[in-house]
Structure 1
Amino acid sequence: MKIYFANGLFSEADRLYNDMVVKKIREMSSDIEVYLPQENGDINDKMNYADSIKIAQEDNKELLSSDLVVAVLDGDTMDDGVATEIGLAFGKEIPVVGLWTDLRQHGFNNPAKVEAVKIIGENPFGYINNYTIGLIKMNGVVINTVDQLLVEVKKYL
């Protein structure tokens, strides 16, 4: 099984997180191949130059030959490239497992948090684009821990 791993890759924190999660996925089975864009030096060694068409061609080739997309949805807003990859996967009917670990989603049973939403300018919950989440849910799932991610990936083996 081939997995395309979609997340931002421009900060050290993102690259380290990507490495950690992908390592766990790869350790699940020798039958799993993971394409992690940051490992493709031809397009993502930022000391060199790859134009937008080369980047799109390389990543599209890998995504379209994948059986599953794992998409990290974290951040103030999800990474633009990740949202694009989710859209392409949806259009080609490639399932997506979305990983959204934002801690603000917790406490949905807390009455004070629920009441706060009624006040202009108050929202103690995280926001994520509903259209993009809908695309994922139509052919996949959204989960909120790496452990749950590994359980979901196992279902596709």
Structure 2
Amino acid sequence: MQIYFAGPLFTPYERDFIAQAAARIRGEGIEVFVPHEQPLPEEVTPKAVFDKDAKGLFPANALVALLDGPMIDDGTACEIGLFHGMKMQGDDTKKGIIGLVTDTRSIGSEGRPLEGKGLNLYVRGCIEEIGEVVSDLDDVVAILKRWQAELA
């Protein structure tokens, strides 16, 4: 199974968190495409960045999206929409989207993401139509392992 890990990647903290999460998922035998781990082209243009990331997104079986922050990263929201569209076109190899929220401003006392707290409701609805929003990496791994078994 191959997943695409979407999320903001503009600070060392964001990149480090995504890299650690990807390493944990890889430890479960799941292939993970992380955009910031891919070398940038010599000329960084919008097309070059799109083409580089599309090589990971389009063949992926699932999408994990880091949703932390005061609002969802715009590139992440775009990747969520693209993946949703591929799934809705009837591609059975596309299992779904998992939104990961670890931002305590958006998590309730039960440890679950709160409705409407930092998460655009339309994007959340897009995710939940074909997946789940969770607040723990263990939940991400459990869902991915279930989807991996379904693909086998």
TM-score class, shorter: 0.7 to 0.9
Distance 2:118 2:7 in 1: 18
The reply to whether residue 23 of structure 1 matches residue 39 of structure 2 is no
Q: Which blocks of at least 5 consecutive residues in structure 2 are unaligned?
A: 88-93, 111-115
Structure 1 residue 126, shift from structure 2 partner = 2.6
Equivalent residue in structure 2 for 1:139, among 109, 130, 135: 130
Q: Deviations over 1:9-34 (max 9, x none)?
A: 110001110111000000011xx211
The answer (yes or no) to whether the contact 2:100–2:133 under 8 Å persists in 1 is yes
The answer (yes or no) to whether the contact 1:101–1:145 under 8 Å persists in 2 is yes
Where does structure 1 differ by over 3 angstroms across 4 or more consecutive aligned residues? Answer: none
Q: Deviations over 1:21-77 (max 9, x none)?
A: 000000011xx211000111124xxxx541001111221232010000000000111
Distance 2:5 2:142 in 1: 16
Distance 1:33 1:151 in 2: 15
Distance 1:147 1:65 in 2: 24
Structure 1 residue 107, shift from structure 2 partner = 3.1
The answer (yes or no) to whether the contact 1:4–1:34 under 8 Å persists in 2 is yes
Q: Deviations over 1:98-148 (max 9, x none)?
A: 10122132137xxxxxxxxxxxxxxxx832100000000111111111111
Distance 1:156 1:10 in 2: 30
Distance 1:53 1:62 in 2: 15
Task: Please give the root-mean-square deviation of Cα atoms over the aligned residues, in Å.
Answer: 1.5
Question: Who wins on radius of gyration, i.e. which is larger?
Answer: 1
> TM-score if structure 1 supplies the norm length?
0.81
Distance 2:69 2:117 in 1: 10
How many pairs were matched up?
135
Equivalences for 1:21-100 in 2 at 5 Å? 21-29=21-29, 32-43=30-41, 49-93=43-87, 94=94, 95-100=96-101
Residue type of the partner of 1:89?
F
Matched-pair identity in %: 33
